[in-house]
Chains A and B, each alone.
Chain A
Amino acid sequence: MPTESLASTGTPRPSLFQRWSDGLTGWALVGPGALLILIFGGLPVLMSLTLSFQKSDLLTADAPWVGFENYRKLATDPLFVEAIKHTLVYTALFVPGTMLVGLLVAVAMNRSLRFISVYRSAAYLTMAVSTISQGIIFMWLTDQNYGLVNAALNTVGIESQPFLSSPSQALYVIVAMTIWGWTGFAVIIYLAALQAVPVELHEAAAVDGASRLTRFRTITVPLLGPANLFLLVWLSINALQLFDEVYLTTRGGPLRATSVIVYYLWDQAFVQFNAGYAAAMAYALFVVVVIITALQFRITRKYVHNA
């Protein structure tokens, strides 16, 4: 709960002068930040909306109104539908995959041992690696001719795979590389949640004869709820916005097999110069993100009440 502000802590009502002076000070202090955020975060939301009803090539000032044309096109564009499909497949694999890997690593690292902070640092480290560095490393690891992964497959008798150059495999390679990149993030969240589990609950249950597995299932897992929910939402929102790795490793290919929503959107806006159409696409994405965020708020509130 926020503590009360200076002017309302039970002191007598401030004088008119005081209120005017506070008003000016307040606006002067928030002014720079508010102005910047409104210009670069607020105004563009409205501009994007109007742009989505226009035909614009970004370069010339001429942008005729086309009504709902862009949105109508969206519904029937096979390339957009395809991009949605790829995005959903990616999200459905990446989100649970990252959560599972993050939880396993966090559980393994949630104990007091010598060098535990070294292990944890190593796990967190993936977070500092940029998407581009990560993409280059995984392109090399999964290289069709000289890659380490293919060498490993060969030693167990599996022939070399084309990976990123195969339309049927490229998306899964991107899933794997982004799971690796987000592991550090998920581990931090899960470790924080695991460490918040009160030890008294476990002690009480142990006295009553509950086994370790039972205690993990009935005490730890339910208390991980908020962390699970947060990761589910946060990772989903990020998954829907996948771009960097696709741009770097496949440019949406091969044969558009990794063309995800934001890649297609970027291509439409800044390569094909269909800015109006891209804006409509961005708004469609926006609606989905808002729905996910709203769901999170609702569910979080429920959790807080139950906790």
Chain B
Amino acid sequence: MSHTTEITADTVLDDAVDDLPAASRARRLPFSLWHLVLIPLTFVLIAPLVWMLLTSLQTHAEATHFPPVLVPEHPRFQNYADAWAAAPFGHFLLNSLIVTLVVLVSNLVVCSLAGYAFARVQFLGRGALFLTLMATLMVPFQVTMIPVFLIVKWFGDNVWDALGIDHIGALMLPNLATAFGIFFLRQFFQTIPVELEEAARVDGTSRLGVLFKIVLPLSLPAMSTLAALTVLTSWNDFMWPLIVVTSTDQMTIPLGLSYFQGAHNTQWPLLMAANVMSLVPMLVVFLVAQKYFVQSVASTGLKG
């Protein structure tokens, strides 16, 4: 965030403030009048989350009172224990963790190997292979999901049943590498000065050595960005788990939450407690690594 742009913002968009007779004096106030716009705006944006949190602490009687009780009289934390006991949330959480972790590690390793080769190594068929892989980026998931279902079923029947239908393996297998990850890392690797690598190569370091000792340590921001995107996509994925998983002990959080919603669809405090529990891990990760999540969004499209 450069300091120049901040000036831009104020110079361009202070019309509302300027129209006020007190505008010149407003500049000398200890706080900017923009807070009076931003505080309600922010509140509206997070109100749905706040309401979820408040409801999760209400009794059933409070939740089914109209007009609504805004703040629960005696916060009922028991809702969380009840929700946890009413569905195998431990399973859901563990499955989500395993799936996300495996998909994350695999993507980082596989995509950096391939991205590096596409960026730096000359080999026969490189251009054609790269174009073929990138072409798959344009294909909507709905086009491939039916055949992928059949392929995963085949893997389960013929290779290892833990990879097949109704196993969390089926949630990992098709997502172990992404064309976007390869593309993204290749673009980044190409910006690293090639001289650094040449020097090491002359000293007899192997390609893999160069990748792991020189290129990857310089690529931590890009790797973190890809990691953020992968975690978010994998953790929140719903449609594919819905298609391949039916047993509750194989469900990930979004699918388990949807299952729980179907079974307890009017017990709002329980539902909201379950919802809070399933949101917390992702929200924590998001807030801690926000910079990389923001970067990952900006990188999805604006690179052209």
Q: Say yes or no: is A197 at the interface (Cβ < 8 Å to chain B).
A: yes
Residues of B within 8 A of A32 (CB): 110, 113-114, 177
8 Å CB contacts to A: which residues of B221-268?
A: 232, 235-236, 238-239, 242-243, 253-255, 257-258, 261, 268
List chain A residues, Cβ under 8 A from B236.
130-132
Do the beta carbons of B38 and A108 come within 8 Å of each other? yes
Whether A133 and B275, one on each chain, are in contact in the complex, defined by CB atoms closer than 8 angstroms, is yes
Contact A44 to B10, CB < 8 A, known contacts A32-B114, A146-B268, A185-B297: no
Residues 126-146 of B, flagged 1 when their CB comes within 8 A of A and 0 if not, give 100100110010111111111
Contact A111 B34 (CB under 8 A): yes
Complex contact B138–A25 (CB within 8 A):
no
Residue of B18, B175, B279 touching A133 (CB-CB under 8 A): B279
Chief secondary structure at chain A's binding surface: helix
Residues of A within 8 A of B190 (CB): 2-3
CB pair A137–B12 under 8 Å, yes or no, is: no
A90 to B5, CA, bound (A): 35
Task: State in angstroms the CA–CA spacing of A147 and B272 once bound together.
Answer: 13
**Distance of A257 Cα from B144 Cα, bound (Å):** 27
- Among A44, A216, A244, the residue within 8 A (CB) of B151 is A44
Contact assessment for A202 and B178 in the assembled complex, using a CB-CB cutoff below 8 Å: no
Do residues B68 and A148 form an inter-chain contact, with CB atoms below 8 A?
yes
Interface flag for B179 (CB, 8 Å): yes
Q: Which A-chain residue is minimally distant from B111 (CB atoms)?
A: A33
- Is the C-beta of A169 less than 8 angstroms from some C-beta in chain B? no
> Does A295 touch B at the CB level, under 8 Å?
no
Q: How far is the CB of B151 from chain A (nearest CB, A)?
A: 7
On chain A, the number of residues with a Cβ less than 8 Å from chain B's Cβ atoms is: 125
**B218 touches A (CB below 8 Å):** no
A41-B179 contact given A6-B197, A129-B279, CB 8 Å threshold? yes
A272 interface hit (Cβ, 8 Å): no
A172 at the interface (CB under 8 A from B): no
B297 and A189 contacting across the interface, CB-CB below 8 Å: yes
Residues A130 and B235 in contact, CB atoms below 8 Å apart: yes
For A290, the chain B residues whose CB sits under 8 A away are: 138
Q: Select from chain A the residue with minimum beta-carbon distance to B285.
A: A128
Q: A43-B151, A146-B68 are in contact. Are A129 and B49 (CB under 8 A)?
A: yes
Determine the distance from Cα of A304 to Cα of B302 in the docked complex, in whole angstroms. 12
Flag if B121 contacts A26 (CB, 8 Å).
yes
Query: Quick one: given A5-B119, A194-B5, A212-B14, are A285 and B238 in contact (CB under 8 Å)?
Result: no
Question: Per a CB cutoff under 8 Å, which of B18, B51, B144, B282 touches A137?
Answer: B51
**B71 interface contact, C-beta 8 A:** no
Q: Is residue A16 contacting chain B, with contact meaning CB distance below 8 A? A: no
Whether A105 is near chain B, meaning CB under 8 Å from some CB there, is: yes
A26: which B residues are within 8 A, CB to CB? Answer: 117, 121-123, 126
Contact (Cβ within 8 A) B136 A41:
yes
Task: Flag whether B174 is at the interface (Cβ < 8 A).
Answer: yes
B176 within 8 A of A: yes
Given the known interface contacts A140-B272, A151-B67, the answer about A105 and B41 at a Cβ–Cβ threshold of 8 Å is yes
Q: Which residue of A lies closest to B193 (CB)?
A: A3
Q: How far is B282's CA from A133's CA once the two chains are assembled, in angstroms?
A: 11
**Alpha-carbon distance between A124 and B287 when the two chains are bound, in angstroms:** 9
Contact status B34-A108, CB under 8 Å: yes
Contact B147–A243 (Cβ < 8 Å): no
Question: With contacts A48-B144, A130-B254, A133-B278 known, is A34 near B191, CB below 8 A?
Answer: no
CB-based contact A136/B271 at 8 Å? yes
Give B257's nearest chain A residue, CB to CB. Answer: A132
Is B21 on the interface with A (CB-CB < 8 A)? Answer: no
The answer for the CA separation of A240 and B238 in the assembled complex, in Å, is: 16
| A300 interfacial contact with B, CB 8 Å | yes
> Per-position contact with B for A110-139: 1 when CB-CB < 8 Å, else 0?
111111101101111111111111101110
**Contact (Cβ within 8 A) A195 B297:** no
Whether A197 pairs with B8 at a CB distance below 8 angstroms is: yes
CB pair A197 B5 closer than 8 Å: yes
Chain B residues with CB below 8 A from A279, complex form:
146
CA separation between A293 and B301, bound complex, in Å? Answer: 12
Is the C-beta of A282 less than 8 angstroms from some C-beta in chain B? yes
- What's the minimum C-beta distance from A145 to chain B, rounded to whole angstroms? 6
- Give the docked Cα–Cα distance between A126 and B42 (Å): 11
Contacts A125-B46, A197-B8 given; indicate if A41 touches B121 (C-beta within 8 A): no
Other A-B pairs beyond A122-B45, A146-B65, 17, CB < 8 Å: A22-B121, A33-B114, A41-B144, A44-B148, A45-B136, A107-B9, A109-B38, A111-B32, A112-B9, A129-B279, A130-B253, A185-B297, A195-B1, A206-B11, A212-B13, A220-B12, A282-B142
26 A-B residue contacts at CB 8 Å?
A2-B187, A3-B191, A24-B123, A27-B123, A32-B177, A33-B177, A37-B133, A42-B133, A42-B136, A58-B149, A105-B45, A108-B38, A111-B6, A111-B13, A121-B287, A128-B279, A131-B254, A155-B67, A188-B298, A195-B5, A198-B4, A202-B12, A212-B15, A212-B18, A241-B141, A266-B239
Interface of A toward B, CB cutoff 8 Å: 2-9, 14, 19, 22-27, 29-30, 32-34, 36-45, 47-48, 51, 58, 105, 107-116, 118-119, 121-134, 136-138, 140-141, 143, 145-148, 150-151, 154-155, 180, 183, 185, 188-189, 192, 194-199, 202, 206, 212-213, 215-216, 219-220, 226-227, 230, 233-234, 237, 240-241, 243-244, 247-248, 262, 265-266, 269-270, 275, 278-279, 282-283, 285-286, 289-290, 293, 300, 304
